[in-house]
Amino acid sequence: MIIGTAGHIDHGKSALVSALSGRPMDRLAEERRRGITIDLNFAPLTLPGGAIAGVVDVPGHEDFVRTMVAGASGIDLALLVVAADAGIMPQTVEHLAVLEHLGIAAGIPVVTKADLVEPDWLELVLLEVTERLARSSVGFDAPVATSVRTGLGLEELKSRLAARAAGLEPRAGADLFRLPVDRAFSLAGVGTVVTGTAWSGRVSVGEVVNLLPSGRTARVRSIESYGRALEQSEPGARTALGLAGLSRDDAHRGTWLVGADSAWPVSPALDVELTLQPDAPRPLVSRSRVRIHLGTAEFMARVQPRAPIEPGGRGLARLVLERPMVARGGDRLVVRSYSPVTTIGGGRVLDPDPPRRRAAWPAALGHGSPAERLGALLERRPAGIAVAALPVLLGRPPVEAASAARGRADIRLVEDRWVREATLHELAARALTSLKAYHRTHPSDRGMPLETLRHGLRAPEPLVARALSDAAAAGRLRLTDGLAVQSGFVPRVEGGDAEIDRVVRILEEAELCPPSLAELEQRTGRRDVAAILRLAAQAGRVEAVERERYYARPALERFTATLAAIGQGSLIAPAEIRDRLGISRKFMIPLLEWADAKGITERVGDQRRLRNA
Ligand SMILES: Nc1nc2c(ncn2[C@@H]2O[C@H](COP(=O)(O)OP(=O)(O)OP(=O)(O)O)[C@@H](O)[C@H]2O)c(=O)[nH]1
Ligand SMILES: [Mg+2]
């Protein structure tokens, strides 16, 4: 369990964590000099029963809310600290809003410095806190009064924490490894060390991790959690990773470590649902410039709301980021105004890698089961979703994401992508349309070259292949010899059968010395002689002996009959064929090779022998 403090400056957060954990907080010289917390501080806390929790102590100063947000992202439980002698103050309210925007599920209000006030006053503050938190989306316990001077309430607080820890839903281990970096430093003998709370998944010593958004890779050399060396990290634990191959300057607060086996998009935009606080000074309109906090990262963005979002309202928006960032579906974020810098709202990531243009916004994008959200995400992605990207987009572990996909009858796995059936249908329909058009403009061609068809569809190759083979299976087209042919299509030539007859007759008359295609084109004055002869060949009337020379069927029959006659009982010498048929080498050599290829004859030196004689 990760516990985070929250609350106004000077209300006793650090003193409380020190008292609970026995560790000094505020270790920076400047923190000690000014008596305030400036940066995040961390301490392990052993709870009654032996479980270890990680505590993140955050600053309360209004200038450091960004640091507070980084610390509060990814905590399981908040200790909302209110000093008994001060009551609820501005950063109590702002930190509470941050916890709510981040979707923190559990909290314990702690009224500190109880020793400084009269019992009646303490009761009033406890009441004020209870009432203020009653409507919060954070599931708060009743407040605990404490004093680090007298020790009041500390044991009770510890046992409440233990009870909460026991009831906590464990974070998914069988999920993608992701750790938002909150610190990076160099350690002699170890190299670059990166620390953070592992949000999900595990990583082992020796594994490769990616640092995002830069995309640099590193190898995990060592893992440490709460002072113990581990072979494998635990989700939801404070974790320090010794990394080989990464310089200390590459990693810093705001970057992410993820497993190298998963597909994390680094995106220039995020599609989100935003909630604007009732106390926000103005509505969010197109191009409002805001600060976004997600994980430990802070970045600037322009809001493109679907409709202006009023204070107290909620709406859908695209965040156009000033530099590409990393997010996962379902991630919570905090929105702060650019100037003055105050917390104005929060949100939830609906699509961490939205299509650049013409994105549909189906209702299920924001709400619904993983299967429903998957349907909505696919509606915006005609090219489908890679299996490896789905757990990131949906924000669910891989096994759950895959079962959401398998649960939908209207999507299919095409190679490594989930694709809507409708997309494949639409592709097949477009293929048939362009096929029809091709047949219309090339009536004598046997079919449309597949490459031309594929190229024109402008869709990923595997999808096109699947759509075409579907259409073929449904009997709507045929795929042969690199050609696509619409079912029922018969190639035609201008002039019809009479023209085919005319060309075939020329070949018949030429017998065993037929003209080449080029010569035929000259003689007939037609440019489509090749198409005509292909049709005649399909009908069995002619055959190509060479690529550019066709023979009429009767001529070839006469040739084979001559071979058969000479070949009975003896070898066939080319000279004898020449004498009998009166053809020159120019025609005879290709004819003999044709006979060899047909299996009528085989070579014996320069001569031939009948194969079945
Ligand atoms: N009497 C009394 N003083 C306390 C108690 N808790 C904290 N203090 C004092 O209150 C002052 C502020 O305490 P911190 O723990 O630094 O307050 P903080 O909330 O961490 O402050 P920031 O981190 O700067 O927001 C210190 O002087 C503490 O000694 C308490 O229970 N009783
Ligand atoms: Mg402090």
Q: Which atom of ligand 1 is least distant from the CA of 147?
A: 31
| The predicted structure's pLDDT at residue 357 | 81
Q: Which residue has the tokens 């050399």?
A: 221
Pairing mode, strands 238-244 and 256-259:
unpaired
> What average pLDDT score do residues 385-399 get?
95
Q: Whose CA is nearest to atom 29 of ligand 1?
A: 15
196 CB contacts (<8 Å, ≥6 apart)?
179, 180, 181, 182, 183, 238, 239, 257, 296
Reading the block at residue 367, the tokens are 């709400």
Do the beta carbons of residue 222 and residue 205 sit within 8 Å? yes
Mutation pick for ligand 1 pocket among 5, 8, 9, 14 (CB with most ligand atoms within 8 Å): 14
> Tens of pLDDT along 547-597?
999 999 999 999 999 999 988 888 999 888 888 899 999 999 999 999 999
Q: From the CA of 38, how far away is ligand 2's center (Å)?
A: 8
Q: What are phi and psi of 387, to 5 degrees?
A: -55, -40
Q: Which residues line the pocket of ligand 1, CB cutoff 6 A?
A: 9-15, 36-37, 59-61, 112-113, 115-116, 147-149
Q: Whose CA is nearest to atom 3 of ligand 1?
A: 113
| The predicted structure's pLDDT at residue 91 | 96
> What average pLDDT score do residues 256-285 get?
95
pLDDT > 90: what percent of the chain? 85
> Tens of pLDDT along 136-153?
999 999 999 999 999 999
> What average pLDDT score do residues 511-537 get?
92
| The predicted structure's pLDDT at residue 165 | 93
Q: Is pLDDT larger for residue 344 or for residue 262?
A: 344
Q: From the CA of 123, how far away is ligand 1's center (Å)?
A: 20
Q: From the CA of 143, how far away is ligand 2's center (Å)?
A: 20
Q: What are phi and psi of 298, to 5 degrees?
A: -130, 130
Instruction: Report d(CA 290, CA 525) in Å as an integer.
Output: 73
| The predicted structure's pLDDT at residue 490 | 87
Reading the block at residue 414, the tokens are 């095409």
pLDDT at residue 358 is higher than 80: no
pLDDT band of 169, cuts 50, 70, 90: confident
Q: Whose CA is nearest to atom 12 of ligand 1?
A: 10
Q: From the CA of 487, how far away is ligand 2's center (Å)?
A: 77
| The predicted structure's pLDDT at residue 613 | 59
pLDDT at residue 237 is higher than 90: yes
pTM for this model (two decimals): 0.82
pLDDT band of 191, cuts 50, 70, 90: confident
| The predicted structure's pLDDT at residue 491 | 85
Overall residue count recorded for the chain in this entry: 613
What is the average pLDDT score of the chain? 94
Reading the block at residue 577, the tokens are 């064929």
Compute the C-alpha angle 492/497/503, nearest 5°.
Answer: 100
Mutation pick for ligand 1 pocket among 32, 82, 113, 146 (CB with most ligand atoms within 8 Å): 113
The greatest distance separating any two alpha carbons of the chain, rounded to the nearest whole angstrom, comes to 132
> Tens of pLDDT along 451-466?
999 999 988 889 999 9
pLDDT band of 286, cuts 50, 70, 90: very high
pLDDT at residue 131 is higher than 80: yes
> Tens of pLDDT along 62-120?
999 999 999 999 999 999 999 999 999 999 999 999 999 999 999 999 999 999 999 99
Helix (H, G, I), strand (E, B) or coil at 493: coil
Closest CA to 377 of 412, 416, 407, 420: 420
pLDDT band of 605, cuts 50, 70, 90: confident
Whole-angstrom CA distances from 205 to 177, 193, 216, 262 are 13, 13, 18, 17
Whole-angstrom CA distances from 457 to 13, 63, 435, 480, 497 are 62, 55, 11, 19, 34
Q: Which atom of ligand 1 is least distant from the CA of 9?
A: 25
Reading the block at residue 57, the tokens are 């102590």
| The predicted structure's pLDDT at residue 332 | 97
Closest CA to 424 of 457, 390, 402, 393: 457
Instruction: Report d(CA 112, CA 88) in Å as an integer.
Output: 12
Do the beta carbons of residue 234 and residue 198 sit within 8 Å? yes
Q: Whose CA is nearest to atom 4 of ligand 1?
A: 113
| The predicted structure's pLDDT at residue 58 | 97
Reading the block at residue 298, the tokens are 């802070």
pLDDT at residue 432 is higher than 70: yes
Helix (H, G, I), strand (E, B) or coil at 16: helix
pLDDT > 70: what percent of the chain? 100
Instruction: Report d(CA 191, CA 364) in Å as an integer.
Output: 46
Compute the C-alpha angle 590/593/599, nearest 5°.
Answer: 145
Q: From the CA of 14, how far away is ligand 1's center (Å)?
A: 7
Instruction: Report d(CA 360, CA 377) in Å as an integer.
Output: 9
